[in-house]
A and B are shown apart, each in its own frame.
Chain A
Amino acid sequence: MNIVVLVKYVPDATADRRFEQDFTVDRVEVDGLLSELDEYAVEQALQIKEKRSAGEGAEEIEVTALTVGPEKAVDAVRKALQMGADKGVHVVDDAIAGSDYLATSLVLAKAVEKLGAEKKVDLVVTGMASTDASGAVVPVMLAERLDLPQVTLASVVETQGDQVRIKRDTDAATEVVGASMPLVLSVTDQSGEARYPSFKGIMAAKKKPLETWSLGDLGVDAGQVGLDAAYTAVEDATARPPRTAGEIVKDEDGSGAKALADFLASKKFI
């Protein structure tokens, strides 16, 4: 079985995230890391591998971590390798900078196809959303491009043979969804804590295969991706004006509740 897990390199949410002059996300000056929500994807991929490669009917399973992003994005793949992925692929090309969802999903689709040409891909596991763009759309676009079923936003994942079953919470209900592999699976942060790389894992990762591919390797024309090819254009990015400091009171013998009630009344909430 062949599992590909998509990992994105994102600016650290606790750092000062910002935009470049051309309104693309600053991915170079701001410290980055593997998107925390993609750690859950790596974890689920590894759990599937561990369950299915043990005991009776044990299978040979390979987990490949794939990222599309700038030079530094290789850190996201390295982290996945340290956690336990077997192999890494980093698609990097100057022409990709500024790509929108459509172009990103195109490049990812071509990379998955290339991996599949070597050995059929059964399962693509992704995070629920990236912590920078937060679109939660790339996994579905990828499924659409690869003509694969999607089972998305899983909080519980089970596989048996070529069947995948997930549990998920939608706005209105809790659902069980089933589909046959090959498919695209996205998992939420409810799916179970992601493991930390062990010292052994960190050492082992250094020897794992890590390939770097360019657009040329994927047969993607540079004109199809990047800022100029984007289907959307950002016209302006403004930092939120700092909030004017509010009034803070200390509660003493019920004074806090009264002051808060006065405030709510002044704002006509009561």
Chain B
Amino acid sequence: MSEVLVLVDFQNGAVKKPTFELLTLAKRLGEPSAVFIGAAGDPSVVGGVAEAVKKYGAEKLYVIDDAQIKGYLVAPKAEALQQLAEKVSADSGGLAAILIPSGAETKEIAARLAVKLDSGLITDAVDIADGGVVTQSVFAGNYTLTGKVTKGTPIITVKPNSAAPEEAAGAGAVEEFAVTISDAAKTAQIVATQPRQATGRPELTEAAIIVSGGRGTGGDFSAVEALADELGAAVGASRAAVDSGWKPHSFQVGQTGKTVSPQLYVANGISGAIQHRAGMQTSKTIVAVNKDEEAPIFELVDFGVVGDLHTVLPALTEAVKQRKG
């Protein structure tokens, strides 16, 4: 069986859940090999990544040292992956696919790689079936497309929450892979970085439940946050709430924010503009609290409450607390 390369999503010292989702999808296409671009010199880091990916079926873990890579925008990473892909392909007579988590940076890696490998690219897949048939959700979730890469090595970026991770024992054999990064790739330099403060809540794109607030909160997110915490949910926001400075842009759900697909999305004081829908329409269950019964968000909901969020949400939070207790 040919190998499938899966780029490991690694942040704040840990392998993130989308990696396991991608490994699960990769098994439908061939033999999964994880690729980690990071601190190769640190055995505890590499060991931790190997442990994590082998549980989800990775037969190999290619480790690429990021000493020459970090500090620049995506070009060096694309170069490194190109070299790995060409090597694996030459050794084993072809690669079945390269799967990359859909994120702002990782999509750019995929884009450069597609040009370098002269291969087709499909972005933001929500499923991959046997035979490499890829499903995408487009036009704000109004259409579902299925299709395939027809030339080169399929390069597919996959959205978080696109598959339920399935455990499967893999060998997880660690192979260091040495790369040569050209000076031409080191042209866009990261001059300063300020890591985002941890919220203590689940990551927006990975959360099973999201409670969001919009302009209707009037800037007071306390009721939204209290409900989120009671449900163990992530907090999201509309662009109106972000533009008003109530929440940082990293909270924004929608076309120019995050696309989310949780089990449950609770929209509060959000009208449901097409650009907001684009980011949440594929949520499994949608509920809304809005004081305007004409608000377009009610066209989407499984359950809606016409009312003032400042009274409905605290009462709901209390009810959730009681039922849990």
- Interface residues of A, Cβ cutoff 8 Å to B: 13-14, 17-19, 23, 37, 100-102, 105, 128-129, 131-132, 134-138, 140-141, 143-145, 147, 149-153, 155, 165, 169-180, 183, 188-190, 230-240, 243, 246-251, 254, 256-261, 263-265, 267, 269-270
The residues of B that contact A267 with a CB separation of less than 8 Å are: 264, 285
**Dominant secondary structure at the A interface:** mixed
The residues of B that contact A18 with a CB separation of less than 8 Å are: 143
B38-46, B106-114, B163-171: which lies at the interface: B106-114
10 nearest A-B pairs in the assembled complex, by CB-CB distance: A251-B307, A231-B120, A257-B315, A149-B187, A137-B111, A261-B319, A256-B305, A234-B147, A257-B316, A176-B192
| In the complex, residue of chain B having the shortest beta-carbon distance to the beta carbon of A263 | B303
Which of these, B189, B190, B304, contacts A248 with CB under 8 Å?
A: B304
Give Cα A18 to B300, complex, Å. 20
Q: In chain B between 73 and 92, which residues have their CB closer than 8 angstroms to a CB of chain A?
A: 73-75, 78
Give Cα A138 to B105, complex, Å. 13
Give a binary string over B132-173; 1 marks a CB under 8 Å from any A CB, 0 the rest: 010000111111111111111000000000000000000000
| In the complex, residue of chain B having the shortest beta-carbon distance to the beta carbon of A148 | B187
Give a binary string over B304-325; 1 marks a CB under 8 Å from any A CB, 0 the rest: 1111100111011011100110
In addition to A137-B114, A174-B194, A240-B142, 7 A-B residue pairs with Cβ atoms within 8 Å of each other are A17-B139, A134-B255, A136-B123, A141-B114, A237-B145, A239-B143, A246-B301
The residues of A that contact B150 with a CB separation of less than 8 Å are: 230-233
- Do A240 and B144 touch across chains, with their CB atoms under 8 A apart? yes
Q: Give chain B nearest CB distance to A104 CB in angstroms.
A: 12
Give Cα A173 to B104, complex, Å. 12
Decide if B287 is an interface residue (CB 8 Å cutoff): yes
Q: Give chain B nearest CB distance to A17 CB in angstroms.
A: 5
Give Cα A246 to B107, complex, Å. 35
Decide if B270 is an interface residue (CB 8 Å cutoff): no
- Do A254 and B315 touch across chains, with their CB atoms under 8 A apart? yes
The residues of B that contact A150 with a CB separation of less than 8 Å are: 73-75, 108, 188
A180-B187, A232-B120 known; A269+B263 contact, CB < 8 A: yes
Q: Give chain B nearest CB distance to A15 CB in angstroms.
A: 10
Decide if B250 is an interface residue (CB 8 Å cutoff): yes
A230-B150, A238-B143, A256-B312 known; A178+B104 contact, CB < 8 A: no
Q: Give chain A nearest CB distance to B130 CB in angstroms.
A: 14
Which of these, A101, A171, A180, A250, contacts B104 with CB under 8 Å?
A: A171
- Interface residues of B, Cβ cutoff 8 Å to A: 11-12, 73-75, 78, 103-105, 107-108, 110-112, 114-116, 119-124, 133, 138-152, 184, 187-196, 209, 231, 248-250, 255-256, 263-264, 274-275, 278, 285-287, 289, 293, 298-308, 311-313, 315-316, 318-320, 323-324
The residues of B that contact A173 with a CB separation of less than 8 Å are: 193-196
A102-B114, A248-B293 known; A256+B303 contact, CB < 8 A: no
The residues of A that contact B285 with a CB separation of less than 8 Å are: 267, 269
- Do A170 and B108 touch across chains, with their CB atoms under 8 A apart? no
Q: Give chain A nearest CB distance to B113 CB in angstroms.
A: 9
- Do B191 and A141 touch across chains, with their CB atoms under 8 A apart? no
Give Cα A177 to B190, complex, Å. 4
- Do A137 and B299 touch across chains, with their CB atoms under 8 A apart? no
The residues of B that contact A231 with a CB separation of less than 8 Å are: 114, 119-121, 149-152
Q: Give chain B nearest CB distance to A123 CB in angstroms.
A: 14
- Do A183 and B188 touch across chains, with their CB atoms under 8 A apart? yes
Which of these, A233, A235, A246, contacts B303 with CB under 8 Å?
A: A246
- Contacts A/B (CB < 8 Å), 18 sampled: A23-B145, A134-B255, A137-B123, A140-B74, A141-B115, A144-B111, A150-B73, A171-B103, A176-B190, A176-B191, A231-B121, A233-B147, A239-B142, A240-B144, A246-B302, A257-B312, A260-B289, A270-B231
- Do B191 and A140 touch across chains, with their CB atoms under 8 A apart? no
The residues of A that contact B112 with a CB separation of less than 8 Å are: 140-141, 143-144
A153-B104, A232-B120, A237-B144 known; A178+B323 contact, CB < 8 A: no
- Do A170 and B121 touch across chains, with their CB atoms under 8 A apart? no
A105-B115, A269-B263 known; A136+B107 contact, CB < 8 A: yes
- Do A260 and B312 touch across chains, with their CB atoms under 8 A apart? yes
The residues of A that contact B140 with a CB separation of less than 8 Å are: 13
Q: Give chain A nearest CB distance to B169 CB in angstroms.
A: 30
- Do A256 and B307 touch across chains, with their CB atoms under 8 A apart? yes
| In the complex, residue of chain A having the shortest beta-carbon distance to the beta carbon of B264 | A269
Give Cα A141 to B78, complex, Å. 11
